[in-house]
Amino acid sequence: MREVYQEQLGKLADELASMSTMVGTAMERATQALLETDLTLAEQVIEDDMQVDEARSRAEEHAFGLLALQAPVAGDLRTVISTIHAAEDLERMGDLALHVAKTARRRHPHPVLPPDVREYFSEMGRIAVKLAGRVHEVIRTQDVEAARGLEEDDDEMDDLHRHLFTVMMSPEWSHGVAAAVDVTLLGRFYERFADHAVAVARRVVFIVTGKMPTS
User: So where are the chain's domains?
Assistant: 2-209
The pLDDT of residue 68 is 76
Q: Which residues of the chain have pLDDT under 70?
A: 1-5, 70-75, 214-215
**Would you mind telling me the total number of residues written for the chain in this entry?**
215
Q: How far is CA 194 from CA 60, 153, 155, 184, 207, in A?
A: 22, 8, 9, 16, 20
- Tell whether domain 2-209 is in CATH 1.20.58.220: yes
Q: What is the pTM of this model?
A: 0.94
The pLDDT of residue 50 is 97
**Cα separation of 91 and 215, whole Å?**
22
